[in-house]
Copies of this chain bind each other. A is one copy, B any other.
Amino acid sequence: MPKIVDHEARRQHIAEAVHRVIDAQGMDRVSLREVAAEARVSMGQVQHYFATKDEMLVTALRHLNTRITRRVAAVGPSTPRALLRVGTLELLPLDDERRFEARVGLAFLARAAVSPSLAALLREGLPHVLAFYAAQIRAAQTTGQIPATADPDREATILFAFAQGMVSPTLIGHYTTGEVVAAVDYHLSRLFVR
């Protein structure tokens, strides 16, 4: 009987080892060797899936985004306001899992500023996030919850940037969890007239 290998699960397993190496040792210490040790697989296995460190980082960043997207999707059908709220709060370091993701995410943002392949991946993903926000805003406009005068794309830009910009001040302990949630709700209350 042929051995059945779940390649996607293997890639995810390695991607999560990349996250842990980034968090514990920093982005520069990521190597096929370090990641293989962290994932408890052979160098050959890692090389089977990733020819270069860059390819491995791209997969690891994609997997980080997938984790967040899945949690938002798990909310299921809901109101535009609730979806915008959860879609914002899931990005923020409000528990151990999200603090871990936020630290790793910041390392990726810093690296993407000097790595064309990571920058390209961020550029590819960003329109989807912004379109998700803008779609909720448009839906709320059709029911009059958000005024028709609001610009859905600009509001999406501002909401997403606001969320991203809260990550570092929250991680370093400037804001409490309660203050972060209150700031998000304050902003949403301005957007939604009812």
Contacts and interface: CB of A to CB of B under 8 A. Distances in A.
Interface residues of A, number: 44
A151 B190 CA distance: 11
Contacts of A109: 106, 109-110, 168
A122 B175 CA distance: 12
The copy count of this chain in the complex is 2
Interface in A73-109: 102-103, 106-107, 109
B165 A160 contact: yes
B27 A26 contact: yes
Contacts of A27: 26, 28, 110
A114 to B, nearest CB: 6
Interface of A: 23, 26-29, 102-103, 106-107, 109-110, 112-114, 119, 122-123, 126-127, 151, 154, 157-158, 160-169, 171-175, 179, 182-183, 186-187, 190
